[in-house]
Structures are given as C-alpha cells and as structure tokens.
Amino acid sequence: MSRPVIERRLTEVGERLQRLRADLAVAEEQLAHLTAEAEDARVRSLVSETAQSGSVHRDAERHARAMERHRDDVMADIARLEVAQNDLLDRMGADG
C-alpha cells in the first residue's frame, strides 16, 4: 500500500474515531440519565405497587438497556478502528 493511500486512510480513520468518541460521550450521558430514571421508576413501582407503575418501570429499564447496548456497540467500533489505525501506522513506519 502506498504512503499516500495509508495517509488518506489514517485521516479517514481518525475522523471516524473523533465522531465515535463524541457519540460515546453522548451515549454515556444519556445512559446515566436513563439509568437514574429507571431506578426512580423502580422505587416508585415498589412504593405504589400499581400495574401502571410497574409498566413505567419496565419501559424505563428497556430504554436503559437499549442505550447500554448502543454504548457498547460504539465502544466496540472505537476499539476496532483503533486496531486499524495502529495497523496503518505500523505499515507507514515499515515503509519509512
């Protein structure tokens, strides 16, 4: 692979990593909010013991789990791109 191709790919990977890290920060913030909301709904469900409060709690838990899966997917994408970035840097160093 030629040096200009490696440099272009490094730039692309770096830009993608930057976007994913921003997405990760948002996902972590939303996850914290949804987790707190789910915990509040759980406590309200225990106190009120109504079918509606139980439903609200289950919905809140479902939203928190979905955000957790999204955050985990973003983290996996970041890890994969970091490996690709390191590989490209190794190739560039071997050519230099």
Q: CA geometry: angle at 36 spanning 47 and 62, to 5°?
A: 85
- Does pLDDT of 83 surpass 70? yes
The secondary structure of residue 48, as a DSSP letter, is: H
- Does pLDDT of 53 surpass 90? no
3-state helix, strand, coil in the chain (%, to 5): 95, 0, 5
Can you give the pLDDT at residue 94?
A: 86
Tell me which of 96 and 80 has the higher pLDDT: 80
Q: Which residue's entry shows tokens 């707190």?
A: 36
Can you give the pLDDT at residue 11?
A: 97
Tokens of 54: 């139980």
Query: Could you report the per-residue pLDDT of 3-26, keeping only the tens digit for each?
Result: 999 999 999 999 999 999 999 999
pTM of the shown model: 0.86
Can you give the pLDDT at residue 95?
A: 74
